[in-house]
Structure 1
Amino acid sequence: MEILAPGPLATVQDFGRPGWSRLGLSSSGAADFRSLALANRLVGNTEDAAGIEATWGGLRIRAHCRRVDGRTSIVYVSLTGAPCPIDVNGRPAAWCGPIALRDGDVLTLGAPTSGLRTYLAVRGGLAVPPVLGSRSTDLLSGTGPAPLAAGDRLAVGQPVAPMPGVDLAPCTAPPEQFLLRVWPGPRSDWFTQASLRELLTASWQATSRSNRVGLRLSGPPLTRCREEELPAEGMVSGALQVPPSGQPVLFLTDHPVTGGYPVVAVVHGDDLPLAGQIPPGASIRFRLHQATAWES
């Protein structure tokens, strides 16, 4: 697969490299791992095979197919995640279904109509060299392959299973307003009760200063009731860390493994793929996963 244009940002992603936090590395991996898993299933891959995560469309690739027994072979790809216009050589192509590419075919993605990240899986998976057991790009640490650039060529691996025989899979587009369930954070007692209620009742907006490391949110400042310094402690994906500005930061897949600001809440793990689809300017609301004293 030859990259003709990467769009705003395109990276190679699989399910990440968990278990290396002692070296200062987050697990990284696809921000919306469910969409990557579906794209892989549509072309007969294992769910965790490496594919391309395209942020805000703009990706253009050319297929280079080898000849087998005097005939040019076909490579199958599929696209899931944030829906966007797709064409092959200028002709519209299927969303959430297998697409056959022949030698020299050019596939182009437009801007998403909702959501932020689109996933491209290729039958056989991308065979870039793994680093610490994963082919994922970690933007914060620089681990894994560099973000894709025009002219890059990505090797494709061998298929591991038959094609599933599915023409189209049902896909739900990301919403216009995102509702994320949260657990109380380990430092929720550092905030006033009024701020805890504000977190759950206000509408928050993802700012343009967001990326795979985290979403910077804009809304009513959250006020602390404790002002002492907090020693650095471990961070996880989904942590809502609150810096002195009072504007929360929602950590995503490439987050730092430690932080020195209090975590008021943590997004439920099942909602992290949805959080990975939040574009700048989108509206976000939080809801407690289970009732606690916060709601009194």
Structure 2
Amino acid sequence: MRALEVVETGPLALVQDLGRPGYAHLGVPPSGALDVPALKLANRLVGNDEAAAGVECLFGGLRLRATTSCTIAVTGVAVPVEVDGRPVGSHAPVWLAEGQVVAIGTPVTGLRCYLAVSGGIAVDPELGSRSRDVLSEIGPAPLKPGDVLPLGTPSLPGGADVVPPTIAPAELVVPVEPGPRAHWFEDLAAGLAKTWTVTAESNRVGLRLDGPALTRGDDYAEKELPSEGLLTGAVQVPPNGLPVVFLADHPTTGGYPVAAVVRRASLPALAQARPGTLLRFHSSTKVWNR
């Protein structure tokens, strides 16, 4: 059996692919890798289809033993990678012999690394995806020591052999567009452009921010909102005025106003934002209040 055996997991290790979009009507979030380009790159480096399942590793600490020869690649932010204690580096394909152990250290910056293996992680899919959804608890459970991850049939690697790792910045400027309830807030563009701090309560459901609270206009100060549909990147503002930026495991509906929406191209950077990261929203759109 081609497989990887889990030796250690670090704070959190999850099987993820590109998710299960299209099930919002069932109350199921899209889920999938938060840093999509990183998972796609890891799969290309080992010869997989970009949609193959790999392991999303939060803040390092993952150790896996190969039960068969295979090729692995670790991407995401820069991180030490060792095989049987020997440094091999990230962002490049690495061959493992049967019995060898690959270990991912602590990333220099950012949060999440992605390990792909030739053939992909072949656990049973749910609703067409092998991704773990931490909100709905759909998909394979978080990894634990002793788990055995079956692998699919490998193909020949192709594409780039080595890719420079990325460094997660300490401050982000995040492009946004006005949300459906932008008009509920006073001087929203200026408020969002102030400096926010990513808090430790953030997770795959959303980034929680701390900073100067956003203020509703007088006409909306006490207004209640029926639940509305949500999408990844929605910037929702609860009564305390501190925004939550929803990520891949977000709820499919919510009852607080969505003031803005993050552009899809910026979502991978949010996936790597550690607690303490500074963040400012920016938009070239001049019309924010309707």
CA contact (8 A) 1:197 1:294 kept: no
Structure 1 vs Structure 2 CA RMSD: 1.3
Q: CA deviation at 1:41?
A: 0.3
Q: Does residue 277 of the first structure (1) align with residue 269 of the second (2)?
A: no
1:240 pairs, out of 230, 235, 247, with 235
Aligned to 1:261: 256
2:151 pairs, out of 149, 156, 161, with 156
Q: Does residue 211 of the first structure (1) align with residue 214 of the second (2)?
A: no
Q: CA deviation at 1:109?
A: 1.2
Mapped to 1, the partners of 2:40 and 2:168 lie a distance apart of: 16
**Unmatched segments (≥5 aa) in structure 1:** 66-73
Q: CA deviation at 1:166?
A: 4.1
Tell me the matched-pair count: 283
Mapped to 1, the partners of 2:201 and 2:164 lie a distance apart of: 32
CA contact (8 A) 2:79 2:106 kept: yes
Q: Does residue 197 of the first structure (1) align with residue 190 of the second (2)?
A: yes
Q: CA deviation at 1:108?
A: 1.1
1:230 pairs, out of 216, 220, 225, with 225
CA contact (8 A) 1:188 1:263 kept: yes
CA contact (8 A) 2:54 2:120 kept: yes
2:138 pairs, out of 107, 129, 143, with 143
Aligned to 1:95: 90
Aligned to 2:126: 131
CA contact (8 A) 2:237 2:257 kept: yes
- Structure 1 segments of 4+ aligned residues over 4 angstroms from their partners: none
User: What are the residue-to-residue correspondences of 1:53-64 with 2, within 5 Å?
Assistant: 53-64=56-67
* Residues 214-249 of structure 1 deviation map (CA, whole Å, 9 limit, x = unaligned): 011001000011121001000000001000111100
* Residues 157-216 of structure 1 deviation map (CA, whole Å, 9 limit, x = unaligned): 002x422264312333222212211011110000001x431211x111110001000011
Mapped to 2, the partners of 1:165 and 1:210 lie a distance apart of: 35
Name the amino acid aligned to 2:199: T
Mapped to 1, the partners of 2:159 and 2:41 lie a distance apart of: 14
Q: Partner of 1:183: helix, strand, or coil?
A: strand
Mapped to 2, the partners of 1:59 and 1:293 lie a distance apart of: 47
Q: Does residue 36 of the first structure (1) align with residue 39 of the second (2)?
A: yes
TM-score by length of 1: 0.93
Q: Does residue 27 of the first structure (1) align with residue 30 of the second (2)?
A: yes
Aligned to 1:68: none
2:107 pairs, out of 77, 101, 112, with 112
Q: Partner of 1:19: helix, strand, or coil?
A: coil
